[in-house]
Every structure is written in C-alpha cells, then in structure tokens.
Amino acid sequence: PDELREKAKVIIQPIEPAKIDHPAKVDLGRQLFFEPRLSMSGIISCNTCHNLSLGGVDNLKTSIGHKWQPGPVNAPTVFNASLNFVQFWDGRAANLQEQAAGPIQNPIEMGMPHTLAVAVLQSIPGYVDEFKKIYGTDQIAIEQVTDAIAEFEKTLVTPNSRFDKWLKGDDKAITAEEREGFRIFYDSGCIACHNGPNLGGNSFQKIGVVEPYKSTSPAEGRAAVTKKDEDRWYFKVPTLRNVELTYPYFHDGQAKTLEEAVTLMGRLQLGRTFTDDEVKKVVAFLHTLTGERPQMPLPLLPPSGPNTPRPDPFK
Amino acid sequence: PDELREKAKVIIQPIEPAKIDHPAKVDLGRQLFFEPRLSMSGIISCNTCHNLSLGGVDNLKTSIGHKWQPGPVNAPTVFNASLNFVQFWDGRAANLQEQAAGPIQNPIEMGMPHTLAVAVLQSIPGYVDEFKKIYGTDQIAIEQVTDAIAEFEKTLVTPNSRFDKWLKGDDKAITAEEREGFRIFYDSGCIACHNGPNLGGNSFQKIGVVEPYKSTSPAEGRAAVTKKDEDRWYFKVPTLRNVELTYPYFHDGQAKTLEEAVTLMGRLQLGRTFTDDEVKKVVAFLHTLTGERPQMPLPLLPPSGPNTPRPDPFK
Ligand code: HEC
Ligand code: HEC
Ligand code: HEC
Ligand code: HEC
Ligand SMILES: [Ca+2]
Ligand SMILES: [Ca+2]
Ligand SMILES: [Ca+2]
Ligand SMILES: [Mg+2]
C-alpha cells in the first residue's frame, strides 16, 4: 500500500462523472450557455469567456466584455465550478444559479438588462416551447434561465484525470516525478488550502500570508462582500483541477505560467523558497490534474422570431 | 405532375448531403474554425462571425472584429458557401481555401499575421501531431491551415429543406401559400438571378437594375476587383438557402426583414411593386428554404504548450 496515497485519499476526492437528473434542462441550459442573443452586442455568450473547447476559460489576464471593455479579474473556469462552496473570487454568489444572474446584465460583460434578455427569449418560438415543457409556463422568467444554465453547468465535471486514477489505485497512472511533485505539494503544506475534490474551492484564504502579494488590480477580495477590513486579500481558493488549461493565474491573472504561480505560492503562502527542481516536480504533478473535458454536441439554437429585438452593438 | 415543380427542377437543384473524403481533415478544420488562438485577441474565431449554432452568421448589420472594430459589409453565411462559384461579395477569392486566408490576418477581423498564427499552432503539440498525420510534415504551413478549414466548410451543407422535399416529389412538404409564393418568385423573374442549388451564388449582378440602391456603405462591389467602372454595384448574388436565419440582408445589412428585402428586390431589380399579400407569400416560400443545419460535436481544442504566444488584447 502506498502510504502517500492513503494520506491523499483522506483529503482529496476523485471527480465523479455527472449524474444527469433532467436531460431536457441540461439541453436547454447548454443552448443558453452558447446563446449570444443574451448579450447586448449579439455576439457574447457565456462560452466567449468560459470557452468549453478550451479549459472553460478565455486564457486572458482579464476578459474582454461588451464593447471590448476589460474585466476586473481573471475569469475562473466553469469546469467543476459546481463543486465550489460559493461562486466568484469573493464568494458573492451562493451557488451557480445565483451566479448566472450576474454576467448577463453586467455592463462590462454581456451588458443586457434581464428584462431585455427575457424579452429576447420570449420572442423566439423554439425557446417558448422548451421553457413551457420544462417549467410549465408560457412566460419565461430569469430564474428559469439561470436554473437551466446552472443545471447544465453541473454536468461540466472532468473525471478520470491521471491523478484520480492514481488515487483510485492505479500505480502507473502517474510517473515517479509527478508522484514526487505531489509529495512536495503535500508535505510543504499546499494541501492546507488546496484540498477536497477540487483541490480548492472550499474556503477563503488570504493571498500573501507570509509575504504581501503585489498587484495593480483594485480587487480586494472577500472584503468587498463583508465590508470588513480583515477580509482584504481573502479570495476563494481556486480549484487546481485542469490548472494546466486555465492560465494565466491568480485573481488578477498576473502569473503567466504554473512555474511562476507555484514559486509565488511557496514564498507568499508558506515562506518557502522552492528549488527549480522542486518547482518542476510540483508543476509536473499539477499537470496530472487535467481530467476528461465534457464532450457535447454543438447546440443548434432556435431561430429568431419576427419580433426578436435586434442588437445595435456600435451604439 | 406538378408543372411548376417540373419548371423548378430545371433551374434549382436540391442540396445533397456532404460526402466526406477525409474525416481527419474535417476534424482538424472544425477545430481551426473554432480556434480563438488564431486571433490577436485570443477570443475571436471564425465561429464568432459565422456562428454555426445560428445560421452560420452573426446576425449583425456589419460584424464586430478585433478591438470591436466594425466590418465593412454584412457577413454572409458559411452554410452552403462551398456551392458558390466564388467567395466574398465581390468575388475576390476563387474558392474556400483562398477565402480562409483573408480573415485571420485582416486587421479588423482576427488581426493575426499569418506568421504568428502558424507559430501559435506550431507551439501546440496536439496540432503538430494532427498536421503531421494529415500533411506529413513537421512544419505547419498556412496553406495547410486554410486547406483543412475549407475541407471542413465543405461539410457545412443544409439538405432536406421543405422546399427540396417538394422539389423531390413530396407534395405535402410545402403549403399552398408557400407554393404560391414560389410561383410568384418564379413568374416575376427572381429566378433569373437566384437559381442553381444555392438559389444564388453563381453570378455577379447589379443591385439596382431598374432603380438605384441607396446605401451609405462604401462597398463598391465587383469593381473593387476589376477596377472597371461598369462593375460598380455588382455583387455576388447571395444564396437564399436558410435566408430566414441570415438577417439582416444585403451587402450592407440595411434590410432588417425579409419583407423589406423582397419588396426592395421587386422594385429595384424588376420594376415590380408587390402587394403586401404577394410579399407575404414570397416570404413564406423563402422560409421553406431552411434546411437541416449540420450537427457536430463541439471540438475540444488541444492545450497550449509552454511557449504558445499569449495574446495581449488591450495593447
Ligand atoms: C465577459 C466575460 C464573461 C462572460 C461573458 C461570462 N463570464 Fe463568467 N466570469 C467572468 C469573470 C471575469 C468571472 C470572475 C468574476 C469575479 O469573480 O468577480 C466569472 C465568474 C464565473 C463563475 C464563477 C466560477 C468560480 O469558480 O467562482 C461562473 C460559474 C461563471 N462565471 C459562469 C458564467 C455564465 C453561466 C455566464 C453566462 C451567463 C458567464 N459566466 C459569462 C467572465 C465572464
Ligand atoms: C494559505 C492558503 C494557501 C496555501 C497554503 C497555498 N495556496 Fe495556492 N492559492 C491560495 C489562494 C487564496 C489562491 C488564489 C490567490 C489569488 O488569486 O489571489 C491560490 C492560487 C493558487 C494557484 C493559481 C490557481 C489559479 O487558477 O489561478 C496555484 C497554481 C496554487 N495556488 C498552487 C499552490 C501551491 C503549489 C501551493 C504550495 C506551495 C499553494 N498553492 C499553497 C491559497 C493557498
Ligand atoms: C470579424 C468577423 C469575421 C470573422 C472573424 C470571420 N469572418 Fe468570414 N466573413 C466576414 C465578413 C464581413 C465577410 C464578407 C466580406 C466580404 O465579402 O468582403 C465574410 C466572408 C466569408 C466567406 C465568404 C462567403 C460568401 O458567400 O462569399 C467565407 C466562406 C468565410 N467568411 C469564412 C470564414 C472563415 C473560415 C473564417 C475564419 C478563418 C472567417 N470567415 C472569419 C466576417 C468574418
Ligand atoms: C438582376 C438580379 C436579381 C434579381 C432579378 C433578383 N435578385 Fe435578389 N439579389 C440580387 C443581388 C445582386 C443581391 C445582393 C444585393 C446586395 O446585397 O447588395 C440580392 C439579394 C437578395 C436578397 C437578400 C439575401 C441576403 O442574404 O442578403 C433576397 C431575400 C433576395 N435577393 C430575394 C429576391 C427576390 C424575392 C427577387 C424577386 C422579386 C429577387 N431577389 C430578384 C440579385 C437579384
Ligand atoms: Ca435550482
Ligand atoms: Ca486563470
Ligand atoms: Ca445577412
Ligand atoms: Mg484544397
């Protein structure tokens, strides 16, 4: 028996495949996730910033939103977001449904008032039918929109990473170097914050425990929600699942590479200066956390109706 | 025997399902079509403006490109584009492969020099493997990129429209009103320009034959290519396949509805003033041209490598 694995299993759980309770809702949610008509410009959908062909992110320091406005923080992945205890870097949304109400009407994201978003959907006969079948009403409501999106997002899990295979008993799933990287990760204390099925996503922690983090970003973290000074620089610990795919790193997207992120975490959170060799091994371990991305059909969206409001993106 | 159908069959051919000669190339082309890393911003792909979840278009008057710059003309659909005799409104590209070389490096579309686009692909191990398997070389070339995209685009046909079913003998596929709309379309002479499998796409024709077209767009049509004054206002006749999905209409996107487009075509091209009832019937016919949109998996794109150039979209 591998002692390291036994210790690991106590604090990290493998990602399980999604259980789909309501396939019609998931289908509707997928359409809405890819729906550019939910944006003021007509071209931005959830998938623009959380690209499911990539790592559920846009791989930008900060996102490009309505009229090319820069976002305030780095876009986190939607993969395995259902496993996070709260949503957003500062945790201001309790769950995925609550979260999904944000970006549509955010003026620097999709820029679309909810009343107009609902009017657009209500003008599209295909959507009216689908919502009616699922929610039993003729009048689409924003809570239904966000409920369907959340239900779809719950399917966006990434099981069967090499690390999970190792965790489940397959010795050959990871190399000796990767295992050693995990040992360093475990022994040096990363695991204190990056644990649970998401290796993160289950607590707020301060960035800069031992040494302050220098950032030009105005984001202040959890304090934005609690208004308490002691919560400044506390952010939801991000998942390390698929972290290979979710560059750049940190809430401000300032770290370009995993090497940089790991080096900084060692110093700022643990007061530890890793050697190049240690960094290399930890990064090798982090690459074993890439799981199977969900496969899905490209959704075909229902045609606009005669009265579907038309966007005017250069206004 | 339906006499109208017999006349129709002489000049309009049904869309046939795509024959796929090289599935690996189609797969690669699909990935490239959805690949935002081919743009300077990192978020614009072919699919941004030719959204395959919609009608292969962005449904904007003119497109939104790099840094939110407006495009000069309305984006035509990629559905059935393989059946057009040349590509672009002014026909400046002979075929799909030649066309695909345009948008990547166009500063107001994807804004990405070809050398950089190729360097990005070359830095992504998954792509290097795929290109090697298909093209047999280690060095990716832009001609391979455009070849694969074109091969994918050839699969983007939309067979089995209700009109095609009627053409093939199914009397019930269209209603009496729709058939009457087609009769008006045929008898009044629309068919002179909108014929062939695409009901268009096989000749350049002047917009404003009888009465001049008023536009604020600087686009001058075929004259931009030939430099001949007599070619001003000649545009490739657009396909009417899936025209329900490809609003707004005309090269400048000035006509918001099909009713408007049909009314204008009657007056400007044929000197005919249709009654409201005639317009309604022609539009009803045009709706029968919506075919089955291609179903496909959402492509999963290969992860960036350590040296993949990172975009800097706000620079
Ligand atoms: C213009 C870019 C953009 C668009 C469009 C966008 N997002 Fe986001 N998303 C972000 C950014 C940036 C954040 C982080 C914001 C924060 O934490 O304050 C985020 C956060 C999230 C989170 C929280 C993840 C976590 O771990 O905290 C989820 C879930 C999410 N978005 C889903 C969606 C959905 C669903 C849509 C469409 C309805 C959408 N996003 C549209 C950029 C975008
Ligand atoms: C005291 C808590 C804590 C410890 C210990 C800790 N982290 Fe973190 N980690 C965080 C927080 C909080 C963030 C997010 C910081 C931010 O974005 O401002 C983070 C972010 C990261 C990121 C970037 C993820 C992303 O998607 O942006 C990586 C990689 C990472 N940590 C790895 C490590 C490693 C490796 C160690 C051990 C050397 C470690 N962490 C130790 C709390 C911690
Ligand atoms: C920013 C918007 C935008 C992007 C991105 C874009 N296109 Fe286009 N596309 C257009 C516009 C606008 C036209 C019409 C230009 C013209 O005719 O002068 C066009 C024309 C075309 C045509 C010609 C169709 C016809 O009937 O003439 C094809 C095919 C096409 N694009 C495919 C692609 C491919 C492949 C890509 C990616 C490599 C791409 N487009 C990227 C906006 C875009
Ligand atoms: C003499 C040639 C000609 C005739 C006759 C003609 N058209 Fe057109 N049609 C064109 C051209 C050229 C365009 C593109 C004009 C432009 O965009 O500037 C066009 C565009 C259209 C469009 C818009 C398609 C799009 O996607 O933008 C519709 C709809 C249309 N025609 C329908 C008709 C109908 C209905 C008739 C008969 C009443 C008709 N046309 C007669 C040449 C013709
Ligand atoms: Ca719910
Ligand atoms: Ca990131
Ligand atoms: Ca159009
Ligand atoms: Mg070829």
ipTM: 0.97
For residue B99, the enclosing domain spans: 23-153
Question: Do B148 and B166 fall within a single domain?
Answer: no
Whether B225 is covered by a domain: the verdict is yes
Overall average pLDDT of the A282-300 stretch: 98
Q: Which ligand approaches the C-alpha of residue A47 most closely?
A: 1
| Structure tokens belonging to residue B139 | 């060095």
* Final residue of a structural domain among B153, B176, B205: B153
Question: Token pair 């609902």 is at which residue?
Answer: A118
The verdict on B210 touching A (C-beta cutoff 8 Å) is no
**In angstroms, what CA-CA distances link A162 with A3, A189, B14?**
18, 22, 49
Question: Which residues in chain A (263-282) have CB-CB distances under 8 A to chain B?
Answer: none
Render the burial of B223-246: b for 16+ CB within 10 Å, e for the rest: bbbbeeeebebbbbbbbbbbbbbb
Residue from B89, B87, B90 nearest B101 by CA: B87
A208 touches A45 (CB < 8 A)? no
Overall average pLDDT of the B84-93 stretch: 97
CA end-to-end span of chain B, whole Å? 65
Q: What is the pLDDT of residues B189-206, one digit of tens each?
A: 999 999 999 999 999 999
Instruction: State the CATH number of the domain containing residue B141.
Output: 1.10.760.10
Question: Which residue's CA is the nearest one to ligand 2's atom 25?
Answer: A249
A255 touches A218 (CB < 8 A)? no
Question: Do A65 and A172 fall within a single domain?
Answer: no
Could you tell me the distance, in angstroms and rounded to a whole number, from the CA of residue B288 to the centre of ligand 8?
Answer: 32
- Residues B140, B118: Cα–Cα separation, whole Å: 7
Is residue A109 part of the annotated active site? The answer reads yes
| Structure tokens belonging to residue A149 | 């999106």
Position B59 confidence tier, pLDDT thresholds 50, 70, 90 = very high
Residue from A30, A251, A62 nearest B42 by CA: A62
Question: Do B126 and B185 fall within a single domain?
Answer: no
Question: Do B65 and B137 fall within a single domain?
Answer: yes
Closest chain B residue to A69, measured at CA: B314
The verdict on B101 touching A (C-beta cutoff 8 Å) is no
- Cβ–Cβ below 8 Å for B60 and A43: yes
Q: What is the pLDDT of residues B276-300, one digit of tens each?
A: 999 999 999 999 999 999 999 999 9
Whether A118 is covered by a domain: the verdict is yes
Question: Do B141 and B201 fall within a single domain?
Answer: no
Let me know if A60 is exposed, middle or buried by CB neighbors in 10 A (0-12, 13-18, 19+).
buried
Residue from A207, A212, A268, A257 nearest A234 by CA: A207
Please determine, for residue A151, whether its predicted confidence score (pLDDT) is greater than 90: yes
Question: Do B40 and B138 fall within a single domain?
Answer: yes
Overall average pLDDT of the B65-91 stretch: 97
The verdict on A159 touching B (C-beta cutoff 8 Å) is no
Whether B72 is covered by a domain: the verdict is yes
Question: Do A125 and A186 fall within a single domain?
Answer: no
Whether A306 is covered by a domain: the verdict is no
- Residues A196, A233: Cα–Cα separation, whole Å: 22
Q: Which ligand approaches the C-alpha of residue A79 most closely?
A: 1
Which pLDDT score is estimated for B166? 98
* Final residue of a structural domain among A128, A153, A178: A153
Q: Which ligand approaches the C-alpha of residue B64 most closely?
A: 3
The verdict on B48 touching A (C-beta cutoff 8 Å) is yes
- Cβ–Cβ below 8 Å for B60 and A313: yes
Q: What percent of chain B has pLDDT over 90?
A: 99
- Residues B175, B169: Cα–Cα separation, whole Å: 14
Overall average pLDDT of the B156-175 stretch: 98
| Structure tokens belonging to residue B121 | 């692909």
Residue from A21, A37, A46 nearest A127 by CA: A37
Q: What percent of chain B has pLDDT over 70?
A: 100
Q: In A, which residues are within 8 Å of B299 by CB distance?
A: 53
Q: What percent of chain A has pLDDT over 90?
A: 99
Position B19 confidence tier, pLDDT thresholds 50, 70, 90 = very high
Please determine, for residue B315, whether its predicted confidence score (pLDDT) is greater than 90: no
Q: What is the pLDDT of residues A39-85, one digit of tens each?
A: 999 999 999 999 999 999 999 999 999 999 999 999 999 999 999 99
B300 touches B27 (CB < 8 A)? no
Please indicate whether residue B270, judged by its CB atom, sits closer than 6 Å to ligand 4.
Answer: yes
Question: Do B39 and B69 fall within a single domain?
Answer: yes
Could you tell me the distance, in angstroms and rounded to a whole number, from the CA of residue A7 to the centre of ligand 1?
Answer: 34
Whether B231 is covered by a domain: the verdict is yes
Backbone φ and ψ of B234, nearest 5°: -85, 125
Overall average pLDDT of the A260-268 stretch: 98
Whether A307 is covered by a domain: the verdict is no
Averaged pLDDT of chain B: 97
- Residues B137, B145: Cα–Cα separation, whole Å: 13
The verdict on B297 touching A (C-beta cutoff 8 Å) is yes
Question: Do A146 and A245 fall within a single domain?
Answer: no
Q: What is the pLDDT of residues B92-127, one digit of tens each?
A: 999 999 999 999 999 999 999 999 999 999 999 999
* Final residue of a structural domain among B102, B124, B153: B153
Question: Do A101 and A186 fall within a single domain?
Answer: no
Question: Which residue out of B109, B130, B151, B153 is catalytically annotated?
Answer: B109
Question: Which residue's CA is the nearest one to ligand 3's atom 29?
Answer: B78
The verdict on A76 touching B (C-beta cutoff 8 Å) is no
Q: What is the pLDDT of residues B207-228, one digit of tens each?
A: 999 999 999 999 999 999 999 9
Q: Is B136 left (phi over 0), alpha (psi -120 to 50) or beta?
A: left
Whether A18 is covered by a domain: the verdict is no
Question: Do A174 and A145 fall within a single domain?
Answer: no
Whether A296 is covered by a domain: the verdict is no
Overall average pLDDT of the A293-306 stretch: 97
Position B312 confidence tier, pLDDT thresholds 50, 70, 90 = confident
- Cβ–Cβ below 8 Å for A296 and B295: no
Q: In A, which residues are within 8 Å of B50 by CB distance?
A: none
Residue from A47, A68, A67, A66 nearest A58 by CA: A47
Please determine, for residue A312, whether its predicted confidence score (pLDDT) is greater than 90: no
Which pLDDT score is estimated for A315? 83
For residue A48, the ligand 1 atom closest to its alpha carbon is: 5
Backbone φ and ψ of B51, nearest 5°: -65, 115
| Structure tokens belonging to residue A24 | 């019609």
Closest chain B residue to A258, measured at CA: B306
Question: Do B37 and B142 fall within a single domain?
Answer: yes
Number of domains in chain B: 2
Please determine, for residue B133, whether its predicted confidence score (pLDDT) is greater than 90: yes
